[in-house]
Amino acid sequence: MKRNLLYLVIPAVLIASCTERMDIELESSDTKLIVYGSITTDTMSHCIRLTQSVPFYSNTPPQPVKNATVYILEGNNRLELTESVNNPGCYYTSNDVFGKSAQTYELHIENVDIGGKTEFVAKTQMPELIEGYQTNYLDSINVTFNKNWNGWVVNGWAKEPQNMRNYYMFRVKINDVLYSDSLSNLVLVDDKFFNGNNTAGAAFYFIPERDTLKVGYMVTLELCAIPVDYFLYLREALQASRPQFPLFSPPPANPRSNISNGGLGYFSAYAIIRASYVMKEKDFVNVPKP
Amino acid sequence: MKIKTNVTILLLMSCLNLSAQVKFSVSGYVKDAQTGEALIGATIIVKELNTGAATNSYGYYSLSLPKGEYAIAAAYLGYQTETKPIQVVKDIRLDLELKPNTQEIQEVVVSRERGNSNVQRAEMSLIKLEMKNIKQIPALMGEVDVIKAIQLLPGVQSTAEGSSGFSVRGGAADQNLILLDEATVYNASHLMGFFSVFNNDAIKDIKLYKGDMPASFGGRLSSVLDIRMKEGNSKNFNVTGGIGSISSRLTIEGPVAKDKCSFMVAGRRTYVDVFFPLFNNDDLKGSTLYFYDLNAKLNLTINPNNRIFASGYFGRDMFGRDINGFGFGNRTLTARWNHIFRHNLFMNTTIINSNYAYFLESNTNDANAIRWESNMDELNVKVDFNYAYGPKYQLKFGTSSAHLTFMPGLIKGTSSESFIQRWEIPKQYALEHGAYISNEFDFGRLSLKAGIRVSAFQNMGKGQSLVLTPDYKVVDRINHAKGEIYNTYINPEPRLGLVFRLNDSSSIKASYSHTTQYIQQASNSQGGNPLDVWFPASPNIKPQQADQWAVGYFRNFMNNQIEASAEVYYKNVKNFVDFKDFADILLNDELEADIRQGRAYSYGLELFTRIGLSKWDGWLSYTYGRTLRKTPGVNMGRTYSATYDKPHNATIVLSYRVNKRVTVSANWIYSTGQTYTQPTGRYEIDNVTIPIYSDRNAKRYPDYHRLDVAVNIQTKKSLSRRWQSEWNISIYNLYNRHNAWAINFLQDKDNPNLTYAEKTYLFPAIPSVTYNFKF
């Protein structure tokens, strides 16, 4: 919401500006281990992805870290992760793993050699979840076309739990395929503005392409209750990925990380709550013809 | 610092022993003979005693002279010097009116009376700009601008290209006290900073103090920009106006009762949005974008000893797109009473209200309908006295008290279904007080100026203060009752200056000033933007304090037509307010937890030559300056350069009068490129590339330079008509240099593994035409 309104301020600058490419030499930093993955409340095989950073101008994508020993400690319980054969650098738990309320998870990565470091650890804690959280947070959703914004809006009916500071990440699936396939199209929300409020049809997610949806398509909103530190990590990572402009951008910096030994990225644990909506004929009545 | 404070107090006390001789006062106003406007900073010279004084900000001077016969001369740049013989046997009231130099006179008079007060007086690091000169400086889109002119002075930098923010001797933009008729202007920019809030036609006088701050000013560390509005012509009605490429202006001024009461009203409005359809940009369809300003002033001379003034400024920027709106603006109101007591005692009492507010809103009339507001308000009462108790002594003293209200952010739902009903960062209230005394001592070739200001700042309820752990976690909130003073800071601020006159045209000067700043702006971006909020010192945020030392050599040439100076300075700031990485500065009710305080320091050399020949006007300047910061928790605690740490900086601002009607002017600016942070590596998270950054601001943009030119053509004057007009044609960035405004490191859209550097530049060569008139 804050961001949407801030876009108002920008056109004044952009109408006047022009761009051109330039040659600038860059120094290279040491190679870093990059970790990204999570344990969620879904019972499934969870993935932790290990890669290495590359120099900024390098023509290669960040390389996977292969043959590492990866496991997660869930209290006294050790969950082994195995590297995918088809997708090197992706390490999976067995398919019966699910995250539990307020549980601490400790990720261990061993048998690697990155910048002389061989062992890395990351610790995270699942947020405390209220009884029956799967249905309590999110009641239902619908999807409407917003003419002013010229796109589809996923509206939510929800009851925000009181007396708890919550941090949310919203994602959308269309016909069970993840539409929010990148960090840049996640929606991050801090409940401080509406703690404990009922929300009756507030905009939770925006889909700008009008042709994405058709009658009969199923739109699923995933409301993820995430730990505060992960919320801040996502916000910082997003900020770091955006271009810099003197009027609005804070000084560039490296996002936080919970990986030890100079590793970057994040290991997190969060809950997923879902609601779905099947697109109906009447939802398309207001859509202007292209 | 304690020793310095004690020395200052001793000097001030010693002055009380000096007034034993029988003396009489000679005092009065110095005014423009054509318009009746008071002349600020006019020089009064008593030739027989080799002494003098300058008129104060209201055009008033006063001297204390022993019995005798004297010739009193009043001089002001651009005016004919007026000399009056007087016999002092009693207190004398002597008001003087100076005639402006007409161009015809300038043709024949080789030198203009400029005076050598810049060399002789114990004040340095002060620049006075004349509106007439500012109007000749080529300007972006023809919008002549005070702040853009100031950015061309030595020791002053713009914080980003096109920005109205400026850094004085390495200070942050919020360390400048910007005053319009004594009222603080909390955000001096329009249209994202491309224009300032000051309408030239309404302005009379501009002074910029870069250091050596007079004790009468306080509250900011780096500079005071003192802007005074015109009083309004007290002799004739005048209409001045202009039609420009993006805005138009109109000023009406005149007497209500001749020589007793006059008024001035000035307005300006832009019409940028009228041209939006031409840009063929979807984002701009249905958008509005404009700003306007209104200045008004009324002054009344009740009798020779009492004058009152009321003035105000009101400005707004409005942006709208579809159902969303955004607006921001300043309001200032000033009411003043000048009173002259007997025996050379002049008093000015001022009541001021300043306000800066903005809003953003989304009028969707559903669950998403909200309005976001922020507001900063100041109510200030000041009393200042000037007391001339000897031929060479001017004692100044006064007090001020301000009540400050901070409303950093309020969000309220504007429809019954709004999912945010009301959310507010608790308002904060504070009192800021100041009391000062200063005096000038003359010991022949040496003059000394000593002053002390004592400032106090109090946080006041109703409010909430945060309890922070040493690692900046909020562990508690303490509520304070209405009117409760829950935190007080008191700071003595000594100010010292001296001049050693080598001869009539050269001198050596030195100064020291200690300044304290209790309120600051939460601004984390380089150029600043209208959403930045002000916040006060508190139990968690210590006041920022600066010590500045400067030494300079001043020399005038060619009968004072060329003024040259070299100054070196060193400034050290304690408790500098910095922000942790990724600080959340908007709508953050725990802002104090994101603040880190450290040290900032800057040093430099400024060379300045000002030219006021019969046909040539302008200045040349060169600055070598560095600005560094060291804050625990920022850049891993290592020293880093500010973005406007641009060591070499040179400007040439010149205008040449070709003939009576045509003036050609140009300015050329060069500076080392600004600093920035480069990425050294990259990685991917969820299909997004994240750069790995090295040290903050360790690299520089390419050097910045630009040439602007303008020609000013006055239409032929006809004696029978009052109508006077002129055309101003200018080209900004004549040789179309693509100076980097931002440099970004991006991925190729088709191949994300191909990365490249891209520069964004704002202004190619931009021509503009403005038509100005007066009748």
CATH architecture of the domain covering A31-128+229-270? Sandwich (2.60)
Query: Last residue of a domain, which of B111, B138, B165?
Result: B111
* Nearest-by-Cβ selection for B279 from A15, A60, A252: A15
What's the domain count of chain B?
2
Are B252 and B285 part of one and the same domain?
Answer: yes
What pLDDT does B108 receive? 33
Task: Using the structure block, give the residue that is written with the tokens 């300038």.
Answer: B106
Q: Cα dist. B535→B353, B541, B545 in Å?
A: 18, 10, 16
CB B459 within 8 Å of CB B481: no
Chain A, 16-75: which have a CB under 8 Å from a chain B CB? Answer: 16-24, 26-29, 31-32, 34, 36, 51-62
- Judge: B746–A13 Cβ closer than 8 Å, yes or no: no
Please compute the mean of the pLDDT values over residues A78-94 and round it to a whole number. 95
Chain A touched by B527 (CB under 8 Å): yes
- Judge: B681–A194 Cβ closer than 8 Å, yes or no: no
What pLDDT does A245 receive? 84
Q: Which stretches of B695-754 are assigned E, i.e. beta strand?
A: 699-700, 704-714, 724-732, 742-747
Residue percentage of chain A with pLDDT more than 90: 62
Quick one: how far is CA B308 from the chain centroid?
A: 24
B205-235: b (≥16 Cβ within 10 Å) or e? bbbbbbbbbbbbbbbbbbbbbbbbbbbbbbb
Q: Is residue B306 part of a domain?
A: yes
Are B691 and B578 part of one and the same domain?
Answer: yes
Q: Is residue B758 part of a domain?
A: yes
Measure in Å the smallest separation between the Cα of A243 and chain B Cα atoms.
6
- Judge: B193–A247 Cβ closer than 8 Å, yes or no: yes
pLDDT per residue as tens digits for the range A28-39: 888 999 999 999
* Nearest-by-Cβ selection for A27 from B423, B525, B680: B680
Residue percentage of chain B with pLDDT more than 70: 93
CB B94 within 8 Å of CB B83: no
The whole-chain average pLDDT of chain B stands at 88
> Which residue of chain B comes nearest to A234, CA vs CA?
B685
Are B451 and B337 part of one and the same domain?
Answer: yes
- Taking one residue from A and the other from B, the number of pairs with CB-CB distance under 8 angstroms is 256
Where along chain A do its domains lie?
31-128+229-270, 133-227+273-284
> Could you tell me the residue range of the domain that residue B751 belongs to?
126-774
Q: Is residue B250 part of a domain?
A: yes
Same topology between domain A31-128+229-270 and domain A133-227+273-284 = yes
Chain A touched by B282 (CB under 8 Å): no
Are B292 and B418 part of one and the same domain?
Answer: yes
* pLDDT over 90 at B543, yes or no: yes
Measure in Å the smallest separation between the Cα of A29 and chain B Cα atoms.
5
pLDDT per residue as tens digits for the range B376-416: 999 999 999 988 776 667 789 999 999 999 999 999 988 87
CATH number of the domain where residue B53 is located: 2.60.40.1120
Measure in Å the smallest separation between the Cα of B126 and chain A Cα atoms.
29
Q: Is residue B623 part of a domain?
A: yes
3-state secondary structure of A225: strand
What pLDDT does B277 receive? 66
Q: Is residue B636 part of a domain?
A: yes
Q: Considering only the top CATH level, what class is A133-227+273-284?
A: mainly beta
CA atoms within 13 A on the CB side of B292: 8
> Which residue of chain A comes nearest to B697, CA vs CA?
A251
3-state secondary structure of B149: helix
What pLDDT does A15 receive? 53
Q: What band does B261 get if pLDDT is binned at 50, 70 and 90?
A: very high
The whole-angstrom separation of Cα B72 and Cα A54 is: 77
Range of lowest pLDDT (B156-160, B491-495, B618-622): B156-160
- Judge: B525–A58 Cβ closer than 8 Å, yes or no: no
* Nearest-by-Cβ selection for B529 from A52, A53, A247: A247
> Which residue of chain A comes nearest to B695, CA vs CA?
A253
Q: Is residue B748 part of a domain?
A: yes
Name beta bridge partners: A279: none
The whole-angstrom separation of Cα B180 and Cα B199 is: 11
Higher pLDDT, B14 or A189: A189
* pLDDT over 50 at A2, yes or no: no
Are B56 and B179 part of one and the same domain?
Answer: no
> Which residue of chain B comes nearest to A150, CA vs CA?
B322
Chain B touched by A116 (CB under 8 Å): no
- Judge: A244–B289 Cβ closer than 8 Å, yes or no: no
* pLDDT over 60 at A13, yes or no: no
* pLDDT over 60 at B346, yes or no: yes
Are B214 and B100 part of one and the same domain?
Answer: no
- Judge: B372–A28 Cβ closer than 8 Å, yes or no: no
Q: Is residue B119 part of a domain?
A: no
CB A52 within 8 Å of CB A63: yes
Are B191 and B89 part of one and the same domain?
Answer: no
Chain A touched by B378 (CB under 8 Å): no
Residues of chain B with Cβ-Cβ distance to A15 below 8 Å are 279, 281, 284
pLDDT per residue as tens digits for the range A106-134: 999 999 999 899 999 999 999 988 877 77
Nearest C-alpha neighbor of B264 from the set B293, B229, B314:
B229
Query: Last residue of a domain, which of B86, B111, B136?
Result: B111
Rg of chain A, C-alpha, whole Å: 21
Chain B, 68-127: which have a CB under 8 Å from a chain A CB? Answer: none
Q: Is residue B120 part of a domain?
A: no
The whole-angstrom separation of Cα B494 and Cα B511 is: 11
- Judge: B192–A181 Cβ closer than 8 Å, yes or no: no
> Which residue of chain A comes nearest to B699, CA vs CA?
A26
Are B62 and B203 part of one and the same domain?
Answer: no
Chain A touched by B419 (CB under 8 Å): yes
The whole-angstrom separation of Cα B232 and Cα B265 is: 8
The type of residue at B153 is: L
Chain B touched by A121 (CB under 8 Å): no
CA atoms within 13 A on the CB side of B381: 2
- Judge: A246–B744 Cβ closer than 8 Å, yes or no: no
Q: What band does A16 get if pLDDT is binned at 50, 70 and 90?
A: low
B645-666: b (≥16 Cβ within 10 Å) or e? bbeebbbbbbbebeeeeebbbb
Please compute the mean of the pLDDT values over residues A52-75 and round it to a whole number. 92
Please compute the mean of the pLDDT values over residues A216-223 and round it to a whole number. 95
Are B370 and B428 part of one and the same domain?
Answer: yes
Residues of chain A with Cβ-Cβ distance to B692 below 8 Å are 29, 32, 53, 56, 254, 264
The whole-angstrom separation of Cα B242 and Cα B633 is: 51
* pLDDT over 50 at B10, yes or no: no
What pLDDT does A219 receive? 96
Chain A, 245-284: which have a CB under 8 Å from a chain B CB? Answer: 245-255, 264-266
Nearest C-alpha neighbor of B125 from the set B208, B57, B205:
B208
> Which residue of chain A comes nearest to B689, CA vs CA?
A241
Q: What band does B102 get if pLDDT is binned at 50, 70 and 90?
A: low
- Judge: A56–B738 Cβ closer than 8 Å, yes or no: no
Measure in Å the smallest separation between the Cα of B170 and chain A Cα atoms.
17
CATH number of the domain where residue B639 is located: 2.40.170.20
* pLDDT over 50 at B47, yes or no: yes
* pLDDT over 90 at B488, yes or no: yes
pLDDT per residue as tens digits for the range A127-165: 988 877 777 778 899 999 988 778 899 998 888 777 778
Residues of chain A with Cβ-Cβ distance to B527 below 8 Å are 246-247
> Which residue of chain A comes nearest to B161, CA vs CA?
A246
Residues of chain A with Cβ-Cβ distance to B160 below 8 Å are 246-247
Q: Which stretches of B391-505 are assigned E, i.e. beta strand?
A: 393-413, 422-424, 428-443, 446-460, 463-468, 474-480, 485-503
What angle (nearest 5°) sits at the alpha carbon of residue A94, between those of residues A89 and A98?
A: 110
Are B211 and B92 part of one and the same domain?
Answer: no
pLDDT per residue as tens digits for the range B664-722: 999 999 999 999 999 999 999 988 999 999 899 999 999 999 999 999 998 877 666 67
Chain B touched by A237 (CB under 8 Å): yes
Query: Last residue of a domain, which of B111, B142, B170?
Result: B111
CA atoms within 13 A on the CB side of B324: 20
Are B443 and B550 part of one and the same domain?
Answer: yes
What pLDDT does B737 receive? 94
Residues of chain B with Cβ-Cβ distance to A11 below 8 Å are 281, 283-284, 287, 289, 321
pLDDT per residue as tens digits for the range A160-185: 777 778 899 999 999 999 999 899 89
pLDDT per residue as tens digits for the range B186-238: 999 998 788 899 998 999 889 999 999 999 999 999 999 999 999 899 888 99
The whole-angstrom separation of Cα B43 and Cα A98 is: 84
Are B107 and B131 part of one and the same domain?
Answer: no
Quick one: how far is CA A114 from the chain centroid?
A: 26
The whole-angstrom separation of Cα B681 and Cα B745 is: 11
Chain A touched by B426 (CB under 8 Å): no
What pLDDT does B12 receive? 46
